[in-house]
Structure 1
Amino acid sequence: MEWTIQELAARAGVTSRTLRHYDSVGLLPPSRVGENGYRYYNPAAVARLQRILLMRQLGMGLPAIAKVLADEVDTAEGLRAHITALEEERARIERRIRAVRHTLEALEAGAEPRMDVMLSGFNDRYKDEVVSRWGERAYQVSNDWWHGKTLDQQLAWKKDTDDLVAAWVAAAKAGVPPTSDRAQALAARHVRWLSAIPGTPTAEGDRERSIAMVRGLGDMYVDDPRFAGMYDDEAGAAFVRDALHAYARTHM
């Protein structure tokens, strides 16, 4: 099966002049040239044009495209690489769509859009730490889960989180021991909160890594200055840490 240059141009959404230019720079020669001077393109040439157009859409210039194609040994591997690049681009576009949708929802609800809701993911600020502790997949899955929520769902989640923190602060101020029923009930609630986040070890039922995560979070609440004041003071953060450690030790 072959297509003429006019047929290929029409199918590909480009001009015949573009295809002739690709030929002149050695990027896409026709499969053959007929006695009448017509250029013809077979399936292999069409597949090559597909690659060229994909790379053009990704912002690559013709010299760079020519180098990629010249250096390429395995066409199938090259196509797999392009699929990966396209999937990454799709993910970026979907994140932008969700961000704009959040803004629209806020405006339609008569609320002033909040920058932290519109532009921040669930754990964007802690990406490096999440990746180093629990891996790239844990970050990506949880971040996609957060960005997939509507504005109302994000605000509801933030409220639940604030309520949990407030309950910890109240228990610390009441002076109950970290191993008390009240503190351990809060620790169990904290672990359920973690388990609701896809990608985390607690959500996936990985016992050993879940224990490490719960203990690690407890330590982080005390040691990391970013959490200073989250639980009112250092004593409050230490109370949460000790309660989580005790829960991990006896209930996980």
Structure 2
Amino acid sequence: MERTVSEAARLAGVSVRTLRHYDAIGLLPPGRVATNGYRYYGRPELLRLQRILLLRELDVPLPSIARILDEQEDEVTALQGHREQLLQERQRLDAVLGAIERTIDGLSGDETVTDEDFFTGLSEARTRLRDDLAARFGEAAADGFEKAVEETAGWTRDDYERLGDEGRRLLLRMAAARDRGVQPDSQEGLELIEQHYQGVLELWPATPSSYYALGDVLIENADQRAIIELVDAELPEWLAAGVRAYAVRKLGHSASKPDHS
């Protein structure tokens, strides 16, 4: 049974514009085009679309998807390969989620978390954050983070939990301010962000530009976002906006003039 472009888009959960783009770049031509210009998609095209969307879920870029699909003629073999990729990604995400939960439980004072699990979770979270910083800001920034970590080498679990308590109290004040309608770039909001900035400097020598970019980390890094959401699910975006505003208004960051200090 053939489907019009709008029907195919609705079935797949994508926009008509997306299908037209896939057609324009040669990734998914319609099965036929009627004399009136209408595009029609048959079963082969819908199966190809399914494979495209599966690969997009794995963050495979469109040019690579075209190459992969053109090299794989057997639909069953191709889908089995996609299934294996998804299983591997699920295992990876399960491992990351478990590490995040251990870290949150430990920093939240959960006494059932052993010291070994606490420091394992902390180490895993640090490694992920270090890799994130390296990807975003380069190895120099990641090395700066590692040096700061080395300075806490003698810290005990009590030291980390005390730091976690201080961080949560600050997040609670931010959440209360947000509930009162305080904007993150207002004077009161920036005063709260000042405390966050000083706390960051204790653990990482952030420059004005890297502190500005930290706004993205707070939203996109799973560990950092989970810690904030534990206090208030809507706080990450507020805090990220405040971090960016503080970097611009108090630290002199300018997107047109990157800071290299």
Q: TM-score, normalised by structure 1?
A: 0.46
Larger RCO (CA under 8 A, 6+ residues apart): 2
Q: Which has the larger radius of gyration?
A: 1
Q: What's the TM-score, normalizing by structure 2?
A: 0.44
